Structure 1
Amino acid sequence: MTTKSTLALKPGLIALMALMAATRFHHFGTPFALPDASLAIFFLAGLWLGGRYLFAILLAEAGLIDYLAITKLGVSDFCVSQAYVFLIPTYAAMWLGGKWCRQFETQTPTALAQQFIALVVATSSAFLLSNGSFYILSGRYPEGNWTQYIERFAMYYPPYMTSTLIYGVLIFAVVNAAKSLISHKTPQQTI
């Protein structure tokens, strides 16, 4: 990686980090706050940025935001339990899904469909890791059973998937449109 490409990555990382900072306070959003974009951020960072250090930076940011939200802003700590550590493999699933998509250098309909499927599979895997570990390890469901888990799955999976897909597709489209405009921009002639 050249110095030029390293410098080109920084604005993208800063933009993704700013989006996480702006949205991480509410999983599914409220009338006054957007839903959490963290899953899409990890996927897109894996796709465009890569590097385990950047993964660690995003993990640290997520943990810091959660800490500040709970201790300083009065956000509920209901989701913080022994299962919290499973957010690492949850976000790794997203990161690796994005990283896998790097092989698609062209924007053909087939490649785009494969990337979309990878986003769905990564998000589903992430949901099973985070939701399953919370259900089993949090202590919030001591009398838990499969029926109860399936009910909770049905309640939380659709918004989990929907917000991730919306963020992922929207950001991907905006970035690719911007790249296309920049690459097709003709240099201005000087007299």
Structure 2
Amino acid sequence: MSFPGLRHQWIIAALLAALMLLTRGEHFVSVHALPSASWAVLFLAGFYLRPFWAVPAFFALGLLIDLGSLAAGTISDWCLSPAYWALLPAYTALWGGGRLLRRHSQGRAGDLLVLALALAGSAFIAYLCSGGGFYFFSGHYEDSSLAGFGERILRYYPGKLLHLSAYVGLAAVADVALRLARAEAHKQRTAAG
């Protein structure tokens, strides 16, 4: 499957940035009822955007949002520890999951299995990086252990996977609807011409 053209990639990047801005943290434009779409943004960036620059660009955007929220006093510095850097490999894993899906996507029903595996696998690796990094290196858990981290995986990974899957599922529905609308418009232009 080929990547969208450069113009469409910039539009997709802007839409993904807006989604991250609207759902991440607690600031003046965030939608508080929605879970963060940051993980989905990176997964979708891997699927839709050709260059790797998406990973550091969206990491930087997330950092700016978090620092802005901290400066505004709407979040505490709890998550802004040396472990914050563990988000880079986590985001890279999510981007890689999207890229893997793109590489193996053939526009068939069997793609749903590839999608499920790419989502679950990249989310698990991302949680190992971000959740493990925070648990072991943030300085907030003095008695950290592998057993304790195992409990945290069982407690938090399913929710992370659910939120990621919901956002990616909505994006997939929007993608299919857009493709069908384009095909119908092309069909009508061809019939009229």
TM-score (norm 1): 0.88
Residues 105 and 114, structure 2, Cα contact 8 Å, conserved in 1: no
Partner of 2:169: 169
Partner residue in 2 for 1:53: 53
For 1:128, give the aligned amino acid: L
Pairwise CA distance, 1:152: 2.3
Aligned to 2:121: 121
Secondary structure of the corresponding residue to residue 144 of structure 1? coil
Q: Hey, what's the Cα distance between the residues in 1 that align with 2:33 and 2:77?
A: 18
Quick one: which amino acid aligns to residue 118 of structure 2? A
After superposition, give the CA deviation of every residue in 1:49-84 in whole Å (9 maximum; x if it has no partner): 131223322121111111111111421221121111
**Residue in 1 that maps onto 2:75:** 75
Alpha-carbon separation, structure 1, partners of 2:98 and 2:171:
13
The alignment status of 1:189 with 2:179, answered yes or no, reads: no
Query: How far does residue 24 in structure 1 lie from its aligned partner after superposition?
Result: 0.8
2:155 corresponds to: 155
Q: Percent same amino acid at aligned positions?
A: 30
**TM-aligned CA deviation for residue 182 of structure 1:** 1.1
Is 1:111 equivalent to 2:111 in the alignment? yes
TM-score (norm 2): 0.87
The amino acid that maps onto 1:60 is: A
Q: How far does residue 150 in structure 1 lie from its aligned partner after superposition?
A: 2.7
More displaced, 155-164 or 120-129? 155-164
The amino acid of 1:144's aligned partner reads S
SS of the equivalent of 2:53 reads: helix
The residue type equivalent to 2:50 in the other structure is G
In structure 2, the CA distance between the partners of 1:93 and 1:56, relative to structure 1 (3 Å rule), is: same
Q: Which moved more, 1:83-92 or 1:111-120?
A: 111-120
What RMSD in Å do the two structures reach over aligned CA positions?
A: 2.1
Q: CA offsets, 1:76-124, max 9 Å, x none?
A: 2211211110100000000011111222342212122112211110011
Alignment of 1:16 onto 2:19: no
Residues 126-175 of structure 1: per-residue CA shift (max 9 Å, x gap)? 01111111111011111123343233222211211111111111112212
Whole-Å separation in 2 of the counterparts to 1:93 and 1:121:
9
Structure 1 unaligned blocks of 5 or more: none
Count of matched residue pairs: 184
Closer, same or farther: CA 105–161 of 1 in aligned 2, 3 Å: closer
What SS class does the counterpart of residue 110 from structure 2 fall into? helix
Structure 1 residues 139 and 114, CA, compared in 2 at 3 Å: closer, same or farther? same
List alignment gaps of at least 5 residues for structure 2.
none
SS in 2 for 1:52: coil
